[in-house]
Amino acid sequence: MLPRVQPVSLAVAHPGTGFPGRNASCRWDDARRTIGVVTETKTPPETRTALPVRRLAGRTVGAFGLGCMGMSEFYGSRDDARSVEVLHAALDAGVTMLDTADMYGDGHNEELVGRVLRDRRDEAFVATKFGIRRGGGRRWHDSSPGYARAACDASLRRLGVDTIDLYYVHRLDPTTPVEDTVGALAELVRAGKVRHIGLSEVSTTTLRRAHAVHPIAAVQSELSLWTRDVVTDGVLAAARDLGVTLVAYSPLGRGFLTGALRDRDGLAEDDFRRANPRFTGENLSANLSLLTPVTEVARRHGATPAQVALAWVLAQGEDVLPIPGTKRLDYLRENLAAAALSLSAADVAALDSAFAPDRVHGDRYPAATMPDTSDAPGTRA
């Protein structure tokens, strides 16, 4: 039996105990009723257990961060009380990085995270983003220097902090040179409002141009078994060359890699996966066949498919930091236990082959919201 990460505030089963995890036989609510979640808010420090660590922006952080987006929107209804419990439990377990953005819930997500930071600011590495604006029923990208400054001030207010540890450009707009954007963020660093600068969904050329203006601490991009664009397009290699951490969002493939989602019937009407090409019609049916090797590896290790998927991301390198999101205590516990799962080279190779890019059906976003990772505009001579 592998040693397990066991945050004691979460009375849920973990790998090797017979708990089926998020497999096909478990519906979303059934699993919670079966396990019985303890909803205490904080764990006494003397009873906490350590999560393995990684380095980010010169600091030691937990090997997993917590993606907070789904606590506010995109994945069904919100439950602030339950989300606050998850945030406290994550910090108790050694999760350091809390990942949010000003556009998640139109500011709600930052305010939610801010509620937890009031008493625990020193325990958290706070990452937020700007660059996606909303209004009048539409969204657009704005990475202009003026908006960067205004957005930072607004995020500081909502989070209730004096300094943001990592401030990302969520999306670059099509007209602002990345040099101008990063230059404005560098001014925020000098002003003490931001400690480190990050980018999200960019090309290798854009990353290098940005890094030439001011050191980039992290690039956040989607990385999972079924989405490996940052590997094939060279972004991960460029980040390594520059000493930049890759923060991997959606490491569970928006829940698909857990094996729990066999159809769309269990998704809320406002769940954005209903419009995601990989979760629709024939694409979903074809993609489900890819899960068999994940289940087989999980069975050999006494783990769950979700833990295998997360262990695969961790195996991509010490400079890769996954940020799985959840608003449930049992899923948090299950995810963190993946840090103790060590995949063999044969396991990784089998999973790589099973999820070869040409075997995955459907784009990772609808066309209207697909990130544009072409080179940023306005290259300076």
pLDDT in tens, the chain (381 residues): 333 333 333 333 334 433 345 533 333 233 322 222 333 344 443 334 479 999 999 999 999 999 999 999 877 778 999 999 999 999 999 999 999 999 999 999 999 999 999 999 999 999 999 999 988 888 899 999 999 999 999 999 999 999 999 999 999 999 999 999 999 999 999 999 999 999 999 999 999 999 999 999 999 999 999 899 999 999 999 999 999 999 999 999 988 899 887 777 777 777 767 778 888 878 888 888 899 999 999 999 999 999 999 999 999 999 999 999 999 999 999 999 999 999 999 999 999 999 998 888 778 666 666 566 666 666 543
- At the fourth CATH level, which superfamily is domain 28-369? NADP-dependent oxidoreductase domain (3.20.20.100)
pLDDT at 274: 78
Could you say which of 104, 168, 249, 331 is catalytic? 104
Closest CA relative to residue 97, chosen from 75, 73, 72, 129: 129
* Amino acid residing at 259: G
* Predicted TM-score (pTM) of this structure: 0.83
pLDDT computed for residue 2 by the predictor: 30
pLDDT at 139: 86
Distance of CA 381 to the CA centre of its chain: 35
Nearest CA-CA partner of 314 in 230, 261, 246: 246
Give burial (CB, 10 Å; 0-12/13-18/19+) of 62. Answer: buried
Query: What is the C-alpha to C-alpha distance for residues 323 and 63, in angstroms, rounded to an integer?
Result: 9
Q: Left (φ > 0), alpha (ψ -120 to 50) or beta: where does 125 sit?
A: beta
Beta bridge partners of 99: 67, 127
Where is 222: in which H helix or E strand? strand 216-222
DSSP assignment string, 270-331: T-GGGG-GGGSHHHHHHHHGGGHHHHHHHHHHT--HHHHHHHHHHTT-TTEEE--B-S-HHH
pLDDT at residue 156, as a whole number: 98
> What are the residue ranges spanned by the domains of the chain?
28-369
| Neighbouring residues of 169: CB distance < 8 A, sequence distance ≥ 6 | 129, 130, 131, 143, 148, 178, 181, 182, 185, 198, 199, 200
**How far is 203 from 51, CA to CA, in rounded Å?**
32
* Residue 104: active-site member: yes
Strands 216-222 and 53-56: unpaired
What pLDDT is attached to residue 16?
A: 41
Structure confidence at residue 366 (pLDDT): 62
* Polymer length in residues for the chain: 381
**How far from each other are the two terminal CA atoms of the chain, in whole angstroms?**
58
The predicted pLDDT at position 359 comes to: 85
48-to-5, 83, 90, 214, 333 alpha-carbon distances in Å: 10, 20, 11, 38, 13
Are residues 152 and 130 in contact, defined by beta-carbon separation less than 8 angstroms?
A: yes
Q: Which residue, 224, 225, 182, is CA-closest to 202?
A: 182
CA–CA gap between residue 119 and residue 116 (Å, rounded): 7
- Looking only at the bridges linking them, the beta strands covering 138-141 and 132-135 are antiparallel
